[in-house]
Amino acid sequence: MEVDRADGRNPNQLRPLACSCSILHRAHGSASWSQGDTKVLAAVYGPKAGTKKNENPEKASIEVIWKPRTGQIGKPEKEYEIILKRTLQSICILTINPNTTTSVIIQVVHDDGALLPCAINAACAALVDAGIPMKHLAVAICCCSAESGYCILDPTKLEEQKMKAFAYLVFPNSILSVLPEGSSLVQGEPMEHGIITSVTHGAMSVDDYFHCLERGRAASAKLSDFLRRSLQSKLPGDLSKAG
C-alpha cells in the first residue's frame, strides 16, 4: 500500500538532516538541528550551583525553557517543556553533579512538523556539546499512522494534520561497545529498542501503535548514526574548549 507524499519521499524516508554544534559563543553548549524545514536551536547553560524548590538537591536538576517562534508560551509549550525535561533527566547521569541546575533553552526557528522530536535531538546534541555527563544519547522520531494502517515517518506539518494519528517516540542511541553481541539484551530485546518517551495524538488500534514502534526503531538506527557522526566530527577541534 503506497501513498504518494507531497515531497515525493517514500514512507520510511526521513527529511534531510542537518546538525551543527557550538554555534553560540556564550552558551556552554549549543546545537542546531533541522529535519527538512523544521529547525530548532538548543543552548545549554550549566551546571550552575543550587537547585530550585521542590527539586531533589541530592541530584542534578535539569530545567527546560521552551521559546516558541513567536508569542507567549501556552499549554502545548508547557507540555513540551515537561516531556523534554523528563526525557533529558532519564538520559543524563544526575548523581555526578548533585545540587546543580542545568538549563536547556530550546528556540524554535521553524516548525514544519515533528517539532518535539526535532527539539529532543537538538537538546541531546547540545548537552553533549556542553559536556554534561550522560548515560547514552537519545534519538527521537515521529511516526504517523493513517486509517488504512500504513505508517509514514518524519511527517511535515501538513501530513501531521492530515493523518489520523501520530506518535512521538524516543529511543536510546545504539551503543557501540566492545562487549560481545547479544550481551546488552534486555528481556530478549536489544537495549536500543526500549522506549524512553512515547507521546501519541489521535486514536489508533493497538496493532497500529506497535507497527509504528517497529518502523520508528528501524529508522532510529539511521538517526543514531547521523547523530554520532555529527558529534564525532567536531571532536578534534574541541581541544580549545576542553582546556
Partner 1 sequence: MGLPNASEDLSSEMEVDAFRRLFPLRYFERHLAESIRPDARSLSRARNTTISMGAVASADGSALAKIGSTTMLAAIKMEVMTPSLESPDEGCVSIDFHMPPICSPLVRPGRPAEAAPVVAKQLSDTISSSGMINLKELSLVGGKAAWMVYLDIYCLDADGALFDAALLSAVAAFSNLQIPTVSLDDGKIVMLPEEQKEENSEKEPVNKEKRKLTLGGIPFSLTCILHKNYILADPTSEEESIMETLVTVVLDSSNQLVSLYKPGGAVLAYTSAVQDCIALTRQRVKELHQILEEAISGMEID
Interface positions with partner 1 (CB under 8 A): 54, 75-76, 78-79, 82-83, 85-90, 165, 167, 170, 172, 186-189, 191, 193-206, 208-210, 213
204-209's contacts with Cβ under 8 Å and 24+ in sequence apart are: 204/145, 204/164, 204/165, 205/149, 207/149, 208/145, 208/149, 208/151, 208/165, 209/145, 209/167
Contact assessment for residue 150 and residue 163, using Cβ atoms and an 8 Å cutoff: no
Task: State the minimum distance, in angstroms, from the CB of residue 36 to partner 1.
Answer: 24
Smaller CB distance to partner 1: residue 96 or 195? 195
Task: State the minimum distance, in angstroms, from the CB of residue 94 to partner 1.
Answer: 9
Cβ neighbours of 203 (radius 10 Å): 9
Smaller CB distance to partner 1: residue 18 or 185? 185
Smaller CB distance to partner 1: residue 24 or 170? 170
Contact assessment for residue 113 and residue 38, using Cβ atoms and an 8 Å cutoff: yes
Task: State the minimum distance, in angstroms, from the CB of residue 117 to partner 1.
Answer: 14
Query: Residue 156 corresponds to which cell in the numbers above?
Result: 511535515
Smaller CB distance to partner 1: residue 41 or 120? 120
Q: Which residue has the cell 524545514?
A: 37
